[in-house]
A = this chain, B = another copy of it.
Amino acid sequence: MKRLINDGYDVVEEMLEGYCLAHSDYVKLKDDCDRVIISKKISKEPRVRIIVGGGSGHEPAFIGYVGKDFADAAAVGNVNTSPSPEYCYEAVKAVDSGKGCLFVYGNYAGDVMNFDMGAEFAAADGIRVESVTVTDDIYSSQNIADRRGVAGDVFVFKVAASAAAKGYDLDQVKALTEKANANTYSMGVALSSCTLPVTGEVIFDMEDGDMEVGMGIHGEPGIERTKLEKADIVVSQLIAYLLKDSNIKAGDEVQLLINGLGGLALMDQYICYRKAHQLLNENGISIHKPLVGNYVTSMDMVGISISIIKIDDELKQLLDHPCDAPYFKIAY
């Protein structure tokens, strides 16, 4: 048990309370719902509102991306559990400004069911809500629509929020968000399981010195369990899968995210970035403003994922649009 918590059943409430106290200039809990985080920097002018969310345990996702010109609200579930339909609906009620809302979240069955029900509740109130589910985890299915959402969330959220900030209407925001998702590819490797707060136990056992390529952020199985390889070999393997799946090729431009899963030293993440950068350059692919760090975690899981979004001028402009959230800042 390498967690510093109180009762495992209280982790989400206590975390949210701590988060809102620490970032009280950015966010607050919705008055009558302790599982909806709302931006205090929401635009005064009416806009399409961006609502993100999902299970807890991926911090700083999703709460860390609620702020100015980024997500307007987050619906927060229990650890590795979808937020309830009511939370999704409450988020809409809290932030809608008459222009409709876009739900953007990772593609997991429970999330899809609950966000869809939330959208139906909102429709009954006359509020239009559309959804884009992020499907970036290339190993999770051959069928793209069935793929899970992992750290590529960050790119897709960013494009959605920037499109809304530019004043586009809901159809336009949804179309651009879908475009971002269609160009985003991720794959990860785990060296350990996370530790579940309620049980104090790992989700799965992993021998020290083993790794699993392709593993999901909730411990979903990957390709195979092997002995841990050197960073350059692991990164080469991930980049090869990503380039093959995405058809990203020489002459293309990408944004790149080396994402720590929570327990991996930042030193290692930069060592991995170095190799990813070299490999993309060797393949004639240019990198625009890379990101390195813990963006979408699995609590204390040791591992990384690599996310790539293939960009054109339209996506680049949206990805570069200024924003100010506790865990994502682009200067104005």
Contact = CB atoms under 8 A, between A and B. Distances in A.
Given A4-B234, A231-B5, A263-B263, A270 B59 contact: yes
A4 B192 contact: no
A17 to B, nearest CB: 5
B22 A270 contact: yes
Nearest to A64: B266
B272 A4 contact: yes
A160 B331 CA distance: 23
A19 B231 contact: no
B277 A18 contact: yes
Contacts of A60: 266
B4 A191 contact: yes
A57 B267 contact: yes
Interface in A253-273: 258, 262-268, 270-273
Contact of A270 (B15, B197, B304): B15
B59 A2 contact: no
A264 B300 contact: yes
B234 A18 contact: no
A83 B264 CA distance: 24
Contact of A274 (B18, B266, B304): B18
Contact of A18 (B3, B25, B270): B270
Interface in A1-26: 1-7, 11, 14-19, 21-22, 25
A230 interface: yes
A266 B59 contact: yes
Contacts of A303: 4
B262 A262 contact: no
Bin the interface of chain A by size: 35 or more
A321 B194 CA distance: 38
A297 interface: yes
Given A290-B22, A294-B266, A271 B14 contact: yes
Interface in A266-286: 266-268, 270-275, 277
Contacts of A1: 208-209, 228
24 contacts: A2-B192, A2-B264, A3-B265, A3-B268, A4-B268, A4-B271, A4-B304, A5-B230, A5-B267, A6-B232, A6-B271, A11-B267, A14-B270, A15-B267, A17-B274, A18-B277, A21-B277, A22-B277, A22-B290, A22-B292, A59-B266, A194-B265, A262-B265, A266-B294
Interface of A: 1-7, 11, 14-19, 21-22, 25, 56-57, 59-60, 189, 191-192, 194-195, 197, 208-209, 228, 230-232, 234, 258, 262-268, 270-275, 277, 289-290, 292, 294, 297, 299-300, 302-304, 324, 329, 331-332
**6 smallest A-B Cβ distances: which pairs?**
A18-B274, A18-B270, A265-B299, A59-B266, A18-B273, A4-B268
Given A14-B274, A59-B266, 19 more contacts: A1-B208, A2-B208, A2-B264, A3-B264, A3-B268, A4-B231, A4-B271, A5-B231, A5-B268, A5-B271, A6-B271, A7-B230, A15-B270, A18-B271, A18-B277, A22-B290, A264-B300, A265-B299, A329-B331
